[in-house]
Amino acid sequence: MKLLIINGPNLNLLGRREPHIYGKDSFDTFLEKLRRKFTDTQLLYYQSNSEGSLIDRMHRAIEEGIDGIILNAGAYTHYSLALHDAIKAIEIPVLEVHISNIHAREHFRHQSVIAPACVGTIAGFGLMSYEMAVYYFLNQKH
């Protein structure tokens, strides 16, 4: 199985950004642990602070034979209709993830405009949200 993890804006600062919300581990450190755990799964990773770059990366996934995308769109979750449309256009299952529980945070974070285009949402389990997303894809009937 070939999965693509995409992180949006400010997630390059994991480990330094608001550690009381996002934890103290960098994503690179976590990704290495994830790859050691799921050795039979190819885990690709991409991060960008730019909405257009995230969309371009999803488009490239079509030609790469990606089986599923794990997407933490960061703040774009709450207003990016362009990401919503890109998810619908690529016909690759996308699972929305969030490190924090978006429903326990500021009111503007409670709404996800990308959720209706995704196969599901996992939120509030810290970096383990990504691990849960990998398990989801591994346990789907293909």
Active-site residue set: 22, 98
Q: Tokens representing 28?
A: 């690179």
d(CA 38, CA 17): 27
d(CA 63, CA 45): 16
Q: Tokens representing 113?
A: 């405009």
| φ, ψ dihedrals at 57, nearest 5° | -65, -40
d(CA 14, CA 67): 26
The answer to whether the beta carbons of residues 83 and 55 sit under 8 Å apart is yes
